[in-house]
């Protein structure tokens, strides 16, 4: 089956209290693509997912699956599979019963249901769990059952709403990798909502960052991180250091703590960099300050360095040396790691 393209054309959704959840959204999700929708609470990401699912109708605009206008079709006629944060499994049914439930109400024969169930149990790594009660499963196992149930009818589109949010950090990391392999193996068009930046970066072919019901940026994970479209995206995805420019010079940009290398023609008011792009030097550097705090994080250390600005600089160092609080710190940065932002 050819993976289907999803298209939202001029979709707007407001609620009874007058709140506009989504403003005139134009969005295309390519066939076979995994799109992550990322943003803070109340930004419209879940409403966008519900518009695709058919759980919400747009006040204005249209939703297409391929060439078919599905705007007025309810969810049960859109051929979508959904995975929810709270699993939404039936506690009175065993694992196999949950997986084939949708097939049973569609009138699929017992033989076909059993065959499909065996396929899905193997797909999600639960071959020995078909007869187990839902109460006997761990959180990660329940999420796999929910995913298998969503995939059972072979949907055109898979929609996931915060699929890993209820899991602990270690399990979430492992299932993130498994889900990535599964989606790529299936080649299905998938859209998932998350507030977890790492999850969006790891799973999304592209990321849609939303702000107040609008598209802040739609791009690959690498572009989102390295070439953020504006200050909101840069600040929401990852950590950021800002350098207000005191003076422009021939050599670069004078800022608190020193002078940054800048060879571009434009003369910005502020430049930015990520914490991992600053390097601690033994002697000379572009910036000089002193250590406020150091936090050991395993593979790296996070340093807070005061260079005289309104906020300390965040520096991620993989060398992991141990500095004394108050120790002098010299920092350097490659010119291409500095960037400017739109408002």
| Same domain as 18, residue 78 | yes
Q: What is the CATH number of the domain that holds 125?
A: 3.40.50.300
Residue 184: the pLDDT is: 85
The per-residue pLDDT for range 225-237, each reduced to its tens digit, is 989 999 999 989 9
pLDDT band, residue 9 (cuts 50/70/90): very high
* Residues 199 and 324 placed together within one structural domain of the fold: no
* Beta bridge mates, 172: none
* 142, 289: one domain: no
> Residues 6 or more apart from 337 whose CB is under 8 A from it?
273, 274, 277
Dist CA 222 CA 298 (whole Å): 24
Strand partners, 328: 290
- Of 194, 220, 236, the residue at which a domain comes to its end is 236
Same domain, 81 and 26: yes
Reported pTM: 0.88
Pair (121, 44) in one structural domain: yes
Helix (H) or strand (E) holding 244: strand 241-244
Mean pLDDT, the chain, whole residue set: 92
The CATH number that applies at residue 277 is 2.40.50.140
* 50 plus 69 within the same structural domain: yes
Q: Does 1 map to a domain?
A: no
Residue 307 near residue 257 (C-beta atoms within 8 A): yes
| Residue 230 and residue 289 share a domain | no
Tokens of 252: 């670069």
Flag whether 197 is in a domain.
yes
Same domain, 270 and 130: no
State which residues form the domain around 24.
6-236
Burial of 279 (0-12, 13-18, 19+ CB in 10 A): middle
CA dist 333 and 287 (Å) reads 9
- Asked if residue 274 lies in contact with residue 333, where contact means CB atoms within 8 angstroms, the answer is no
Q: Residue range 49-54: average pLDDT?
A: 96
Longest dimension (CA), the chain: 78
Instruction: Show which of 199, 220, 236 is a domain's final residue.
Output: 236
The total number of structural domains that make up the chain: 2
């Amino acid at each position: 089956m050819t993976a289907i393209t999803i298209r939202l054309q001029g979709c707007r959704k407001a609620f009874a209290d007058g709140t506009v959840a989504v403003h005139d959204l134009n969005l295309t999700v390519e066939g076979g693509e995994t799109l992550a929708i990322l943003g803070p609470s109340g930004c419209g990401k879940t409403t966008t997912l519900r518009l695709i699912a058919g759980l919400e109708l747009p006040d204005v605009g249209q939703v297409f699956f391929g060439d078919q206008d599905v705007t007025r079709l309810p969810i049960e006629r859109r051929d979508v599979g959904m995975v929810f944060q709270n699993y939404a499994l039936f506690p009175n049914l065993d694992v196999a019963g949950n997986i084939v439930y949708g097939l049973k109400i569609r009138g699929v024969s017992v033989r076909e249901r059993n065959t499909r169930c065996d396929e899905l149990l193997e797909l999600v790594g639960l071959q020995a769990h078909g007869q187990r009660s839902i109460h006997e499963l761990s959180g990660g196992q329940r999420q796999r059952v929910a995913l298998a149930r969503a995939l059972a009818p072979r949907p055109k589109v898979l929609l996931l709403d915060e699929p890993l949010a209820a899991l602990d950090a270690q399990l979430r990391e492992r299932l993130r990798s498994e889900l990535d392999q599964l989606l790529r193996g299936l080649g299905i068009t998938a859209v998932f909502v998350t507030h977890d930046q790492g999850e969006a970066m790891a799973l999304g072919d592209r990321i849609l960052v939303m702000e107040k019901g609008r598209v802040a940026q739609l791009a690959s994970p690498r572009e989102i991180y390295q070439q953020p479209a504006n200050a909101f995206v840069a600040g929401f995805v990852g950590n950021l250091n800002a350098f207000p420019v005191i003076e422009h010079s021939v050599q670069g940009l004078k800022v608190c703590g020193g002078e940054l290398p800048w060879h571009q023609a434009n003369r910005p008011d502020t430049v930015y960099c990520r914490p991992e792009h600053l390097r601690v030097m033994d002697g000379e550097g572009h910036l000089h300050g002193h250590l406020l705090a150091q936090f050991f994080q395993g593979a790296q250390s996070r340093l807070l360095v005061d260079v005289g600005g309104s906020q300390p600089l965040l520096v991620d160092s993989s060398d992991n040396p141990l500095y004394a609080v108050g120790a002098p710190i010299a920092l350097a940065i490659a010119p291409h790691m500095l960037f400017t932002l739109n408002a």
